[in-house]
């Protein structure tokens, strides 16, 4: 993907996501445990990675749309940079969480092999029905840029 004006990316910082809600359905938690080789449980504890899954599913835009905001697409070799989940308490199957958040930073770097790339970070909060933040998912994606 061609190099994008940094100002266009910096304009994203502070921009809120549309947000939404997400409910961890029992079959989704079962499938997730199966995929990531976690033991199946007989209680209502969701896999902790739902702090990430629910945040991204409920942020109100798709990954394709997020990539488009960064002037990229899934075919451009977009990579995960860093990811953080912070859990005040466990996430639970069957509970509907509200998701809210915004873009938090953009950094442009250049490497000898990688060339120019941009790192776009965003943070998403998961709010339970009582209004308490139970989790925060902070992530960054790396967008390779090439001349042309």
Partner 1 sequence: MTPARGVAIGDELPQLVIERVDAEKMKTMAALLRDPNPIHLDPTVVVALGMGTAVVNQGPNNMAYVVNMLAAWAGGPDRIAKLRVRFLANVFSGDRLVAGGTVTGIDGERVMCDVWLARDGTEPVLAGTAVTRPFFVSTAAPGAGLDTKNETT
Q: Which is nearer to partner 1, 27 or 147 (CB)?
A: 27
Q: Which is nearer to partner 1, 10 or 133 (CB)?
A: 133
CB of 81 to partner 1, least distance (A): 7
Please state the φ and ψ torsions of residue 49, each to the nearest 5 degrees.
-65, -10
What token pair was written down for 86? 């912070």
Q: Which is nearer to partner 1, 11 or 23 (CB)?
A: 23
Residues that bind partner 1 (CB under 8 A): 28, 31-32, 34-38, 41, 45-49, 52-53, 56-57, 62-64, 74-75, 77-87, 89-90, 138
CB of 85 to partner 1, least distance (A): 5
Q: How far apart are CA 67 and CA 29, in angstroms?
A: 26
Q: Which is nearer to partner 1, 41 or 109 (CB)?
A: 41
Burial per residue of 58-77, b for 16 or more beta-carbon CB atoms within 10 angstroms, e otherwise: bbbeeeeebbeebbbeeebe
What is the β-pairing status of strands 133-144 and 20-23?
Answer: unpaired
CB of 78 to partner 1, least distance (A): 8
Query: Residue 87 in contact with residue 135, Cβ under 8 Å?
Result: yes
CB of 103 to partner 1, least distance (A): 18
């Amino acid at each position: 993907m061609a190099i994008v004006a940094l100002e266009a990316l910096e304009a994203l910082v502070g921009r809120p996501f549309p947000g939404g809600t997400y409910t961890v359905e029992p079959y989704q938690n079962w499938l997730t445990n199966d995929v990531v080789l976690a033991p199946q449980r007989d209680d209502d504890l969701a896999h902790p990675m739902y702090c990430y899954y629910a945040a991204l599913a409920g942020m109100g835009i798709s990954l394709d749309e997020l990539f488009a905001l960064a002037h990229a697409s899934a075919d451009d070799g977009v990579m995960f940079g860093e990811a953080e989940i912070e859990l005040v308490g466990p996430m639970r199957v069957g509970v509907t969480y509200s998701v809210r958040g915004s873009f938090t930073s953009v950094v442009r770097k250049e490497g000898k092999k990688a060339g120019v790339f941009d790192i776009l970070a965003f943070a998403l909060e998961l709010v339970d029905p009582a209004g308490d933040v139970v989790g925060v998912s902070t992530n960054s994606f790396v967008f390779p840029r090439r001349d042309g």
